[in-house]
A and B are shown apart, each in its own frame.
Chain A
Amino acid sequence: MIDNKKSKNDPLASSFRSALTSKLEKADTLSRRKFIKMAGAGLAVLSFPMSPAFAFEAGSKVKSNFKHKPKIVWVVLRGALDSLHTIVPTFDAQYAQLRPKLSASFKGPLLPLEKGFALHPSLINLHQWYQEKSLLPIVAVSSGYPRRSHFDGQDFLESGKDEIDHDSGWLARAIAVKNKSALAVARSTPISLRSPFANSEQVNTWYPSKFKSADEDIYAALNKLYQDDEALKEKLNSALAIKGLVDDNGQHKQKGKFNDLAKSCAKLMTAEQGVDCAMLELGGWDTHNNQSARLARKLTELDSGLAELKAGLGDEWQNTVVIIGTEFGRTAKENGTGGTDHGTASALFLAGGAVNGGKVKGHWPGLKPDELFQQRDLMPTSNSFSWFASVLSQHWQLSEQELQQVFPHIKSYSEVLIKS
């Protein structure tokens, strides 16, 4: 069982740690100048955060270890996406009654899916992928989080346990059991990728900095300065390894927009020492008012960002599953301010060349008062974590036993989500 308390004795964790320590000791004895040169060239002498396999199989071929291997990109939409405005149930007569203003507010024709569902007009690329059978929308899902707080809802979704654990995320646990590597496009590690034993060796963060790069000499000095502070030392070394990678890709000005982040994410994933999975975040979905205009804008941002990701991944797109989820849904009824309030069930998207798409999954609960959860929200009919578990089982070949370590309280579904 994975338990965040006992990581220090975990054999997996300690072998990573000793591998890392030996690298660090070696680096310490290098002349300072040499150290700087290597770090600057992106050779990542201090640690091998991008390729944990290398730490184990020293001597074997590292190169392209990650290439043509199944990849996962986890995209969290923070703020509770209104799934009913994103995947519209055009067949449900209640829809227009519950949302007289919102249902009439779409600025273009809806993009048809099967069973009478339709995508928001902004999701042009996603619809294209649907037609190419590499997009799978899943309706009426929930993480099982019982309340309506964004922050707890997000923490719950990222943690993946039956109670929030701020120090352990489901993706990090999956990485740990499968010995994979990950990158969080964030200024610090989000809960999804937190785990006491899948640490900086396996999980890195990256976010564009706008400051001019400091004089290279300083990094060697800092390494020495941090000799008694493990946490600072660890982060410094991860940062240097990543810095090499991004700098090699040309130092164009990064802006922190989702498009740019997705583009850089793809670059880092497919770099010489790439990663098996990555996490992106996009906020701004809490549409209590003026929802129609705001969602049109946000969904375009999401759609074009994902298109950048696909373009950047190139051939690797064929091995990729992008999981797009949000903490919960919104009220079935529109509110008094042209928006919707916090609800329960929402939707998931699976996208990517590896996805067995082109259909809509999930059982539709209906929108009649008695069919709603507490007579106000879309009723959840399946569990997000079970879908995630199915992806992990089919895409990363996690066994039943391994899945239990990732989602202790959840069973996977048997539906085929990944192309064989």
Chain B
Amino acid sequence: MSENSMSSTVISPENIAVNRFGYGARGDELAHAKVDPKKWLSSQLQVIEFSDKQPSSDDIFVAHAKFQKQKKLMKQQQKQAQDSQAQVVDKNKIKMIKNSARKTYVKMSAASLKQAITSDHSVSWRLLDFFSNHFSVSTSGRLMVGLSPTLEREAIAPNLLGNFADMLLAVEQHPAMLVYLNNEKSFGANSRMAKKRKVGLNENLAREIMELHTLGVDGGYSQTDVIELAKGITGWSVIRPKKEHGTGFVFRAYGHEPGARTLLGKKYAQRGIIQGQQMLRDLAMHPSTAKYVCSKIAHHFVSEKPPKSLLNKMQKTWLNNQGNIKQVMLTLFDAEEAWLASPQKFKTPREFVISTYRAIAPNRINDRALLNSLNNLGQMPFNAGSPAGFSDDESDWLGASALMARVEWSSLVSTQVKRINAEQVMATALGSSISQNTYQMVIRAESRQQASTLLLMSPEFQRR
């Protein structure tokens, strides 16, 4: 945090624009930003388009169903025949399909990272990653391995510069979220479905919607509210391609808990899917949500202890503009509180890796090596292992062995990239915002590799 940091370095406004709000300088970005840092920032907010043709969540469901069918077939065959050759063939087939889920995950996660690395509007990519972590899903179970990376592509990116309510609805109706937080099998005890077979309520998604996605844990809701929301979204499910036609989100009306609901004191008499949708829209516009999400944004971009005046400005914009994310970001860029010239945040591993590659700009990056890097630095994509996502606090990332892993990784990268020019990388990434000590140590290092390692591990590069 700021009080511990080096007092000697003053960070220039263009450095703040590019490194604090974006994913770090690439090429001559610092020079571009220098002309008018605030204007440069607002021009950074652009719609994110994924450049590759990756499978959709629908494709992944179909592949998963195929895999299960195959596996079942194999088991049957094993029981029937003792023909060992046939068994070997089938096992290979199974393995092929299994690997494809893992492969898809690696390809998609690496593709997002690489686009963030090469993008000329990295501020938008950082914003995407912020919301992807806000609506965190993890690769628990075979289906979620393939499904996790599709949430940010299909539900978050299209709404990134729009209203929070639209993003919220898209996320909570996306198969990845429904499966991850077990809502796809949550049905009302008094629904028509309950008369035929034993079904029950699962509160998991409803609880996390209020605690993590909207109001925040201190947002003023009770266990009763959790149950009411859970009932309101009963029947929000996904098609099972194995047994049904089609793919994707489905509302199973016969599994919806009938009756009016009361959430946070407001009555919802709507029938069917609209009931839950209206609940989510109201949650999105609740003042607690404005407060919670705005302070999370400020915490992420600016400081672990953002000043109250900054939060007030952002919340005001949020409430006056239907939770429009672009407007909130513009308010943030415009606020003087966001431009403190001393380092405010310690980079997360993801930020560290992306900003490193942006500064070094290697010719090619291997997908698997990229993900291995993040895994060993402690931030494997879609593996937070908790719907709360990865931490955004220095205390959680700056540990002794975590720092050691960064040193080792920096050293590795510095060896792998041929003829790396540390002085040039330093100018690209940090410009003039560098202390005399760091500058001297990098310039006078005994080897190319050591110079680059020291630069990447310098307080100026580790903090933003």
A-side interface residues toward B, CB under 8 Å?
A: 78, 147-152, 166-167, 184, 186-189, 194, 200, 204-207, 209-215, 217-219, 221-222, 224-232, 235-236, 238-239, 242-243, 283-284, 288-289, 335-337, 339, 341-342, 374
Contact = CB atoms under 8 A, between A and B. Distances in A.
Given A219-B407, A225-B437, A230-B4, 4 more contacts: A184-B399, A206-B401, A235-B403, A337-B182
A213 B372 CA distance: 16
B54 interface: no
Nearest to B391: A188
Contacts of B401: 187, 205-207, 209, 239, 242
Contacts of B402: 187-188, 205, 207, 235
A221 B445 contact: yes
B459 interface: yes
Determine which residue in A210, A219, A243 has the highest number of CB atoms from chain B within 10 A of its CB, and name it: A210
B201 A335 contact: yes
A252 B211 CA distance: 42
Main secondary structure of the interface of B (DSSP, over half): helix
B10 to A, nearest CB: 13
B450 A215 contact: yes
30 contacts: A148-B226, A166-B393, A187-B378, A187-B397, A187-B401, A188-B396, A188-B402, A189-B399, A200-B400, A210-B375, A212-B412, A222-B407, A229-B5, A229-B459, A231-B4, A232-B398, A232-B462, A235-B402, A238-B400, A239-B403, A288-B182, A288-B202, A289-B185, A335-B201, A336-B185, A336-B186, A341-B202, A341-B203, A341-B204, A374-B223
Contacts, number: 166
A78 B1 CA distance: 28
Contacts of B182: 288-289, 337, 339
B395 interface: yes
A219 to B, nearest CB: 8
A214 B453 contact: yes
B450 A217 contact: yes
Contacts of A189: 395, 399
A157 to B, nearest CB: 15
Contacts of B346: 231
Given A188-B395, A218-B454, A225-B437, A232 B400 contact: no
Contacts of A283: 385-386
A419 B446 CA distance: 59
B9 to A, nearest CB: 8
Interface of B: 1, 4-8, 182, 185-187, 198-204, 207, 211, 217, 223, 226, 346, 372, 375-376, 378, 385-386, 388, 393-405, 407-412, 435, 437-438, 441, 445-446, 449-450, 453-454, 457-459, 462
A215 B411 contact: yes
Contacts of A214: 407-408, 410-412, 453
A337 B202 contact: yes
A231 B398 contact: yes
Determine which residue in A78, A207, A217 has the highest number of CB atoms from chain B within 10 A of its CB, and name it: A207
A239 B6 contact: no
A217 B459 contact: no
B6 A229 contact: yes
A335 B399 contact: no
A188 B185 contact: no
Nearest to B199: A336
B195 to A, nearest CB: 14
Contacts of B394: 231
A233 B78 CA distance: 60
B202 A206 contact: no
Given A232-B459, A289-B185, A335-B200, A149 B211 contact: yes
A228 B202 contact: no
A151 B403 contact: no
Nearest to A234: B400
Determine which residue in A78, A207, A231, A283 has the highest number of CB atoms from chain B within 10 A of its CB, and name it: A231
B434 to A, nearest CB: 12
A235 B187 CA distance: 50
Contacts of B404: 209, 239, 243
A242 B397 CA distance: 18
A163 to B, nearest CB: 11
B200 A211 contact: no
B117 to A, nearest CB: 20
B418 to A, nearest CB: 18
Contact of A222 (B203, B398, B454): B454
Contact of A211 (B198, B399, B405): B405
Nearest to B444: A221
Contact of B388 (A151, A213, A225): A151
Nearest to B346: A231
Determine which residue in A200, A213, A226, A336 has the highest number of CB atoms from chain B within 10 A of its CB, and name it: A336
A149 B213 CA distance: 13
A221 B223 contact: no
Contacts of A243: 404
B2 to A, nearest CB: 11
A187 B396 CA distance: 8
Contacts of A341: 202-204
Contacts of A288: 182, 202, 204
Among all A-B residue pairs, the 3 with the closest Cβ atoms = A336-B200, A188-B399, A211-B408
A159 B313 CA distance: 33
B408 A212 contact: yes
Nearest to A190: B396
A194 B186 contact: no
A166 B391 CA distance: 12
Contacts of A337: 182, 185-186, 200, 202
Nearest to B385: A283
B405 A209 contact: yes
A219 B406 CA distance: 12
A204 B400 CA distance: 7
Contacts of B411: 214-215, 218
